[in-house]
Structures are given as structure tokens and as C-alpha cells.
Amino acid sequence: MEDMEVEVMHPLGEGGVIVVSESDSSTEEEGVSVQADRSRRPVQRPVQRRRRRRIGLSTREELQALIRDTEELSERLRRHTADAQSHQPAPPPSSSRPAAVITHTSHQSSATGLLPAHVSSQPSSSGPSVPPEPEGTSAEAQAEEPRRETEAASESVDPTEAAASPAEEAEADEGEGETCSICFEPWTTAGDHRLAALRCGHLFGYICISRWLTGGGNKCPQCNKPAKRGHIIFLYARRLKALDNTEEVRLKSRLELEQGSRRMEQLEVAQCRQQLQLVADENVRLRREVEELRRWKAQASFGSSQGSSLSSQRQDSSSAGHYVFSKALLVSQTGSSRVLSYCEPLGCLLASQPSTHATLLPGFGVKMISTATLKPSQYIPIHTKQIRGLAFSQHQDSLLLSAAFDSTIKLTSLMTNTVVQAYNTGRPVWSCCWCHDNNNYIYAGLSNGSVLVYDTRDTSTHVRELAPLRSSCPVVSLSYIPRAASSTFPCGGLIAGTLEGGCFWEHIEGTTYTPHILPLESGNCTDIQVEPESRHCLVTYRPGRTNPSLRCVLMELSRTPQTDSNQTPVCSCSPVQTFTAGSSCKLLTKNRVFKSPAGEGATLVCAGDEASNSTMVWDAGTGALLQKMPADLPVLDICPFQVNQGSYLASLTEKMLKVYKWE
């Protein structure tokens, strides 16, 4: 019996046939049967292309397994045909040998390919015999056999399976980012088939695209753009995947638009708030003018006699004298001047300022200004940070006490312009003063509300710490009131002012102190100054909700008499007069209460008005505003002094110093 040759013409799934013919059958008859079979099956071109791509993506081992299964099927068909011929009579000489037709009814889903589940043999129609194939063509047929089997497997797709599931399509699309589009093999991170790209952006295996361009191809295999071997670049990526960020970009653009609109709305809100503040300030000013007009109207209704006495009092106060502008001096071009003090033995004013040569001599110091010529003389460096307090002793000539934010207080001799003693406080110092009952003691007000007592004879550390009784707010002002033969307030001690109020530390003896909480408003106190002779203190309150204006309240210090040995005397204060200024107070300014140069026991109150950038002078007895002297910037400190039997008043801003003479 002659050997059988199996050729898979075109499996179609259910209803498809595989034609198996003998080696000596007619090739023409086989071709006719193939054409007829192809005409009967439905055309599924897109599915075939998709399946061919997936077959191309299979590995070489799977292809070899498919070849082995095909050979095993061919052998089984040969044996079946031989058995069938052995039991049938020989055909007539004129008729050709029958061909075995195998009907493919089902598929097996395996990694080796599509195998028939049911095989049946049926005789085919007679036709012209096929001459035996020459031996020279058998090798070519064997070489073409894997390709035909691959095409047959790609074409043997059931129409019901043509539409792949979304998961399979996703896997196929995901695989496209991992394989070379020339050889359909996965690219590698190293070696000849490592990931490479052309200038157009398409990806290939390096060896594949190199052979393509070397073999005569001068264009990209995918987009036909001009390319050459020098355009190949390596990509150092293990896996590529293009993320769909369209929604993200859209949301980001919407977010930017919303943020821009929000910024515009915030700007409009800020402008409206500013306009509202301006309207509120104008409203306060108009209300104050209305109240003043009502007061004048009420005073005018008292009668001609009272009106005449009031006019005579004004004439007396105006004829007593007033301050006249004398000279303005530039202290610091960069600003940051803060406090002012007067040295009577040397006849000079001292104003704090930053160093004029910050690169060569950084830090802060004081500038000496001669009161005789009203000209600056020299600069003395003292601290590394801003100076917050200056004080002179009444007995130690030309010895300056200074406090700064560099956590130190220092004693500087103006005779030699050098620092003779320095104390490290451990915290920023906001204020300082001398003890006028014992010149060996000095005080430093810290940022935590404590007051440190130092003895100039002890150069190591402080001798006493006066802990805060309330909150730990910075001590913004320190003033010492000496003992005096006064029936109302004979004791001496230290008045410490914080943002939360004030406390009087009664100095008993040595380093023994007794605290007395002063009945002041809480939360708005910015400065406390004393007038030792009249035993008065001036308390400054910044604007608040209940009082929208800056207020300077003159208080009289008092002490309850000791009637019993077991009873402890209580020190307190009571308001005498209130002075009102503008509606703005953003800086911690220092105001003054002092004896009037006119004499006759009169007292003047002087304060800086930040709203109008001016210096205001009131009569403490009547509460009348005597003068309002303009300034270029907010007034930070005020210092009255006397030179050659003349009375002067100096006001300090961040940059300028103005001097006024009493006439």
C-alpha cells in the first residue's frame, strides 16, 4: 500500500473539512476541491488577520508542538485509509482512488493548536487522477509544511470565536508594548535585541531595525518616515505603557481655572475689606467730631459768664508757652531706630540704630547727638540684634544700660565708648531700667514675663528673678519709682508693664520684693511710664472693640495705710484723666508724662499718634489738647530734656529725629 500524504487545506471549525489524498492522486483534483471548499466557507478577513497576529506572537516551542501533532494526525489518517482499502474491492482502472475526507466538528482548546474531536471517513467524488509528486519537490513540500500548518491553524477559526473578548483584546494590546513590530518577539533590556527607537518615536528590537536599515530600507517600517542607522537610539525601559491622562489633564485645567477665579474673588474680598475699614475709620472720625460739636454746644449754653471764664483759661494756657520746631536730623537711612534717651552729664541724646556699615561691623548700637549743636557726633556698636531699651543712672555718670533681642543687657561707658559689663539673660530682653534707691541694682524685662534683678557688683548672674503672676507676656516697659515722703504713696518699687496689665513690685530691702497687681484693663496695655515727683503713672491702651481709639490714661498711685500689724498694705492706682488719639496703633510706642516747662505745678502728657503721624501734647490738669506736631513717620519714642536753661522735646521715628523748643 502506498504511503499517504496529508495536507491541511483549510480547516473551518464546525462544518469545515480537511481533505486527505493519496500521494498519487491528482493535484488538479485537489486544487479543485480546495477551491470549492473555500468558496463554501464564509470569509472572515479581519478575524484571520487578528489570529495571524496572535500566532505570530506564539513561541517557537508551540509551533514545533503543532507540527508534531499534525504529523501524528497524518500517521493516524494513513493507517485508517489503509484499513479501509484492505476491506474494500479494488476500484475500476478508469476511476481514481478515493480521497478520505475528515469532517472537523469540534475544537480542543490547548496550547498546541486546534485538534479535531471527531474524525469520519467518507469517499469523495471521482475525478481525474493526480500524478505522483516528483522527489525533488518533496523537500520543498516539507519546508513549506510548517508555514501551511500555521496558515491552516490561523484560518481554522470558528466564526463564533471571531469576536475576541475584551480581556483578550486588552492582553493583545498590552503585548504590543512589549514586542518588536518586525519579528514579533519580546525585546530585552540587554543584548542584541534590546529596546531601541528611531527619531519618529517607533520602537523596535535593535538587531531587527539595524538589519532593516542596513539591508536597504531607508524608512521607518511603521510610518515610512526617512531613517538611517545613525538615528537609532537605545531606550532604557523595561516595559512601556501609554497611560490615558486625558481626564487628568482636563481636571487639572478646570482646577487651574477654579483657582484663578478663587484668587480673583479673594482679591475682591480684600479690596472690599479695605474699603470697609476706610469707611469705618471715617465713621469713627465723624462720630468724634459730632461728639466734640455737641460738647461745645453744651458748654456754650451755660451762659455768658461761664463762657468768658473758659475763654480766659484758654488764653492763659496758650500764653503760657508751646513747642516750636527747631531741627530735624537723619538718624538711619535704612530705618530700625527704636528708642531714645538723654545723658545729662554729657549733654547728648542717644538714639538706637543699626550699624551704618553692616558688612564690616554688623549689629546695632547708638548714635550720639550733641544737644548744644544738634549735630550727630559718633556711632557706638553695642549689640548684635535690635535694641529695645536705653536707661541712664542718676548717680553713675555716663554709664548707659541697654537691652536687646540678643538676650543680653550691657553697661557701656560713654567716656571710653566701650562695653564694660555684659549679662546673658537667656531670653530676648524687651525693657530695662535702673534702681533709683540703690544704684547697684539694674532690672531686665524678658520675653516670658519675668524680671531679672542684677547686682553690678556681681558679674556672674542675676541675684533675683521676679516671676510673672499672670500670663507670660513680654515685659514691654519697666519704670522705677523711688521712695518719697508722700502721704499717698511713700513706698518705692518697680512697675512692670505687659500686654496683659501691670504689676507693682514693692521694694522692701535688698532683694526682697512684694508684688501688687494694678487694676488695669487686660489685653490692650502697651506702655506704662511714671512721673516720680507727682507719683503719677501714664498707661497707654491701644484701640480695641470697646474703645476704637488710642487712649492714654493718667493714674494716681496710692497705698492703703497700715492700721494693723497683721494687715498687709495694698498698693493700687486710680484714673485721673483720659487722653484720646487716633484709631491706629500697630507699633509699641513709648509715651511720656513730665513737668511742664511753664512751671506752676502743671504736668504735660505727650504721645505719638500713629494714625496722623504726629506728636500730641495735652495738659494733664484740664485734659485739653495743646499741640499736634506733624512727623514724617509714626513716632516711636519721646524724650524731654533741658539744656542751658532751655526746655526741649525730642521725638524719634524709624529714620528721623525732630527737636522742638519750648517758647
Query: Which H or E element spans position 473?
Result: none
**pTM recorded for the entire structure:** 0.54
Cβ pair 448, 467 in contact under 8 A:
no
And the C-alpha cell for 343?
545723658
Q: Quick check: 625 and 580 in contact, CB under 8 A? A: no
Give the C-alpha separation, 8 to 152, whole Å. Answer: 7
- What is the C-alpha to C-alpha distance for residues 597 and 162, in angstroms, rounded to an integer? 112
Count of residues in the chain = 663
Phi, psi of 202 (to 5 degrees): -80, 150
73 sits in the region (left: phi over 0; alpha: psi -120 to 50; else beta) called alpha
Q: How many CB atoms lie within 10 A of CB 81?
A: 22
Residues 6+ positions from 172 with CB-CB distance below 8 Å: 50, 53, 54, 57, 164
Q: For residue 182, give the H/E element and its range.
A: none
Residue 45 — very low, low, confident or very high, per pLDDT cuts 50/70/90?
Answer: very low
Q: How far is CA 498 from CA 62, 319, 390, 481, 518, in A?
A: 90, 39, 18, 17, 11
**Residue 345 DSSP code:** T
| Per-position DSSP letters for 420-434, written without gaps between them | EEEEE-SS-EEEEEE
Give the tens place of pLDDT for each residue, 199-215. Answer: 998 999 999 999 999 98
Q: Are 473 and 431 in contact (CB under 8 A)?
A: no
Mean pLDDT score, 239-254: 79
Query: Sorting pLDDT into bands at 50, 70 and 90, what band is 661?
Result: very high
Band of the pLDDT at 107, cuts 50, 70, 90? very low
Rounded distance, CA 425 to CA 402, Å?
13
Q: pLDDT, tens digit, for every residue of 3-33?
A: 444 344 444 333 333 333 443 434 334 443 4
Dmax (CA) for the chain in angstroms is 165
pLDDT over 70 (residue 314): no
Q: Residue 476 — very low, low, confident or very high, per pLDDT cuts 50/70/90?
A: very high
Distance from C-alpha of 525 to C-alpha of 498, rounded to nearest angstrom:
7
Rounded CA separation 146/143 (Å): 7
3-state class (DSSP) for residue 399? strand
* Sheet with 233-234, edge to edge strand ranges: 203-205, 195-197, 233-234
3 state SS for 272-321? HHHHHHHHHHHHHHHHHHHHHHHHHHHHHCCCHHHHHHHHHHHHHHHHHC
Range picked from 96-100, 226-230, 390-394, 648-652 for highest mean pLDDT:
648-652
The set of cell numbers assigned to 187 is 525585546
Q: Could you say which DSSP state residue 188 is in?
A: B
Higher-confidence residue of 568 and 256: namely 256
